[in-house]
């Protein structure tokens, strides 16, 4: 008779009628008192232990007569061996939360990876919808994740004699679809790894969202940016023309009514300057941005203002300054940077120099032509008449009346300012022996419309061979200019 912890083995009957007692395997023991339940496969009350699995007596080998565990149901792992440790045979139940098992009779309970919801058997569900899992060598393996995730731990296979291997003990129990961290993204439909945010973008929180573009007016040269602070503002007065995700300061452009330094990355960096009013094109853009011809190419520019007027050059600060103007324009560059302009003389006026701001426009003499509003062109003038020198001391002893007895050619010396008179200078002396030069002063605004008999004041100047000048005023009893 065998004790309660053992069961009786029936030997090769009838050849061997001896009785033997075998220790009860672990999976057939009652939990309450340790008795063996292989006879009825159920324990006596109040013990509710049920023997799990299919147990059969061995009939063909040296273990003849002994109970052997043939198989276990789903959710259990078959333990023990038919050849060794027979007393340890059992169907070990897998934890319904922490484990899964694909083949109860061929493997132990497997640790449930964080990417799956396990039930202790071969039924699992996905933590992340769209993740791709399959069974390989009785192990659940993660192949790919949906957009915004990465396979973690990364599936880095190793090789043994050239054959790729996968470490079931290291990788499989820990696999899951992990969200991409700050500065990282995966925008593919099937993701294995996260990639760094490219230049022009950033991502400041972990998650499945893709990297965000820097706002318009900002740029970012770095990759893997983890904060919006990596997006730098374009220099003052510039923007990216509404484009988001700019990757360089080269994407920054001065606003339409400003112009930029020569080089964005030079010693002065990128700076934008307010466009002078005279360089503004009809469409509101700054013509100085279109070096070197300074064209105005917007709507309405072709006929009214094809180019910015004047010669503009940069100073040390790279601001443009107006150097000179075309003929017929007054140069204004000494009244403030933004007020620089080439002011076209109005109809009927002229200016003698467009490269000196001291010159201004004034009326073209009625007897002259002012081509393109430039210097007047006079016809030749003859001077005849008597000059009254009485009461004055003439350096060379001459007094009284001086007869102008031959024609003199007068050449205009145009004044700088409108309030200055027009100087008519003879090319030859009045009398060669006296070395006198005749200068006629014609008022800027004559009151007499007929210049054929216009009384004008005269100035005589002594001219010496040493180029020493001194002058005195005389009066004219009668002087006649013939045009």
Nearest of 428, 424, 447, 444 to residue 436 by alpha carbon: 428
Q: Which has more confidence, 102 or 440? A: 102
Q: In whole angstroms, give the CA distance from residue 416 to residue 421.
A: 10
Q: In this structure, are 337 and 427 located in the same domain?
A: no
pLDDT at residue 463 in the model: 32
Q: In whole angstroms, give the CA distance from residue 69 to residue 144.
A: 39
Q: What is the mean pLDDT of residues 155-163?
A: 60
Q: Does residue 429 surpass a pLDDT of 50?
A: no
Last residue of a domain, one of 44, 69, 93: 93
pLDDT at residue 195 in the model: 96
Contact assessment for residue 387 and residue 410, using Cβ atoms and an 8 Å cutoff: no
- Asked if residue 14 has a cis previous peptide bond (ω within 30° of 0), the answer is yes
Last residue of a domain, one of 377, 392, 421: 377
Q: In this structure, are 400 and 418 located in the same domain?
A: yes
Computed over every residue of the chain, the mean pLDDT equals 77
pLDDT bucket at 394, cuts 50 / 70 / 90? very low
Q: In this structure, are 383 and 372 located in the same domain?
A: no
Nearest of 215, 243, 242, 255 to residue 231 by alpha carbon: 215
pLDDT at residue 479 in the model: 34
Q: In this structure, are 81 and 10 located in the same domain?
A: yes
Q: In this structure, are 414 and 451 located in the same domain?
A: yes
Q: In whole angstroms, give the CA distance from residue 352 to residue 58.
A: 129
pLDDT at residue 157 in the model: 54
Lowest mean pLDDT: which of 61-70, 125-134, 270-279? 61-70
State the CB neighbour count (10 A cutoff) for residue 9: 18
10 Å CB burial of residue 174 (0-12, 13-18, 19+) is middle
Q: Which has more confidence, 8 or 430? A: 8
Q: In whole angstroms, give the CA distance from residue 286 to residue 274.
A: 9
Collapse the DSSP code of 279 into the 3-class scheme (helix H, G, I; strand E, B; otherwise coil) and give the result.
Answer: helix
Q: In this structure, are 419 and 397 located in the same domain?
A: yes
Q: In this structure, are 311 and 350 located in the same domain?
A: no
Lowest mean pLDDT: which of 62-66, 93-97, 261-265? 62-66
Q: Is residue 262 part of a domain?
A: no
Q: In whole angstroms, give the CA distance from residue 112 to residue 125.
A: 11
pLDDT at residue 84 in the model: 65
pLDDT bucket at 19, cuts 50 / 70 / 90? low
Q: Per the structure block, which two tokens stand in for 181?
A: 């961290």
**What pLDDT, in 10s, does the model give residues 438-482?**
333 333 333 333 333 233 333 333 333 222 222 322 323 223 333
Q: Is residue 173 part of a domain?
A: no
pLDDT at residue 465 in the model: 28
Q: Is residue 390 part of a domain?
A: yes
Contact assessment for residue 31 and residue 49, using Cβ atoms and an 8 Å cutoff: yes
Last residue of a domain, one of 281, 297, 321: 321
Q: In whole angstroms, give the CA distance from residue 331 to residue 329.
A: 6
Q: In this structure, are 352 and 383 located in the same domain?
A: no
Q: Is residue 261 part of a domain?
A: no
Q: In this structure, are 316 and 353 located in the same domain?
A: no
Q: Is residue 348 part of a domain?
A: yes
10 Å CB burial of residue 340 (0-12, 13-18, 19+) is buried
* Residue 211 CB-half CA count within 13 A: 29
Q: In whole angstroms, give the CA distance from residue 232 to residue 249.
A: 9
Q: Work out how many domains the chain is built from and give that number.
A: 4
Q: In this structure, are 459 and 391 located in the same domain?
A: yes
Q: Is residue 157 part of a domain?
A: no
Q: Which residue has the tokens 């960096």?
A: 269
Q: Which has more confidence, 266 or 481? A: 266
Q: Which has more confidence, 86 or 99? A: 99
pLDDT at residue 272 in the model: 93
Q: Is residue 87 part of a domain?
A: yes
Lowest mean pLDDT: which of 211-220, 225-234, 305-314, 421-430? 421-430
Model confidence, pTM: 0.64
Report percent pLDDT > 90 for the chain: 47
Q: Does residue 159 surpass a pLDDT of 70?
A: no
Q: Is residue 63 part of a domain?
A: yes
Q: In this structure, are 284 and 368 located in the same domain?
A: no
Q: Does residue 99 surpass a pLDDT of 50?
A: yes
pLDDT at residue 447 in the model: 35
pLDDT bucket at 357, cuts 50 / 70 / 90? very high
**What pLDDT, in 10s, does the model give residues 36-50?**
888 788 888 888 888
Which domain covers residue 306, as residue numbers?
269-321
Q: In whole angstroms, give the CA distance from residue 333 to residue 315.
A: 13
Q: In this structure, are 2 and 87 located in the same domain?
A: yes
């Amino acid at each position: 008779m065998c004790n309660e912890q053992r069961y009786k083995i029936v030997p090769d009957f009838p050849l061997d009628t001896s009785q033997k007692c075998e220790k009860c395997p672990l999976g057939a023991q009652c939990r309450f008192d340790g008795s063996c339940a292989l006879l009825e496969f159920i324990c006596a009350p109040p013990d509710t232990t049920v023997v799990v699995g299919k147990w059969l007596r061995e009939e063909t080998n040296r273990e003849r007569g002994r109970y052997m565990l043939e198989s276990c149901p789903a959710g259990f792992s078959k333990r023990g061996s038919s050849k060794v440790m027979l007393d340890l045979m059992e169907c070990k139940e897998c934890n319904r939360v922490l484990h899964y098992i694909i083949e109860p009779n061929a493997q132990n309970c497997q640790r449930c990876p964080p990417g799956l919801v396990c039930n202790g058997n071969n039924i699992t569900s996905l933590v992340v919808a769209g993740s791709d899992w399959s069974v390989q060598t009785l192990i659940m393996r993660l192949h790919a994740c949906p957009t915004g995730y990465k396979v973690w731990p990364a599936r880095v296979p190793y090789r043994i004699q050239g054959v790729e291997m996968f470490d079931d003990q290291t990788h499989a129990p820990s696999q899951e679809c992990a969200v991409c961290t700050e500065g990282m993204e995966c925008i593919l439909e099937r993701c294995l790894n996260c990639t760094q945010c490219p230049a022009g973008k950033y991502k400041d929180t972990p998650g499945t969202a893709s990297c965000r573009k820097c706002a318009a007016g900002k740029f970012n040269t770095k990759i893997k940016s983890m904060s919006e602070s990596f997006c730098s503002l374009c220099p003052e007065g510039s923007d990216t023309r509404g484009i988001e995700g700019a990757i360089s300061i080269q994407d920054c452009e001065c606003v339409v009514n400003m112009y930029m330094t020569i080089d964005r990355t030079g010693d002065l960096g990128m700076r934008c300057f307010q466009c002078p009013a005279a360089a503004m094109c009809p469409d509101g853009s700054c013509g100085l941005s279109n070096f070197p011809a300074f064209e105005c190419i917007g709507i309405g520019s072709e006929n009214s203002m094809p180019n910015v007027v004047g010669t503009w050059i940069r100073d040390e600060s790279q601001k443009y300054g107006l150097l000179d103007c075309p003929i017929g324009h007054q140069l204004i560059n000494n009244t403030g940077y933004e007020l620089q302009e080439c002011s076209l003389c109005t109809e009927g006026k002229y200016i003698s120099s467009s490269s000196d701001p001291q010159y201004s426009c004034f009326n073209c003499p009625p007897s002259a032509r002012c081509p393109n509003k430039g210097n007047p062109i006079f016809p030749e003038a003859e001077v005849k008449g008597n000059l009254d020198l009485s009461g004055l001391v003439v350096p060379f002893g001459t007094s009284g009346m001086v007869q102008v007895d031959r024609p003199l050619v007068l050449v205009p010396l145009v004044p700088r300012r409108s309030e200055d008179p027009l100087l008519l200078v003879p090319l030859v002396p009045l009398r060669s022996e006296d070395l006198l030069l005749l200068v006629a002063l014609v008022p800027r605004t004559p009151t007499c419309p007929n210049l054929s008999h216009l009384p004008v004041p005269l100035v005589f100047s002594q001219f010496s061979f040493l180029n020493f000048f001194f002058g005195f005023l005389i009066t004219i009893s009668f002087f006649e200019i013939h045009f």
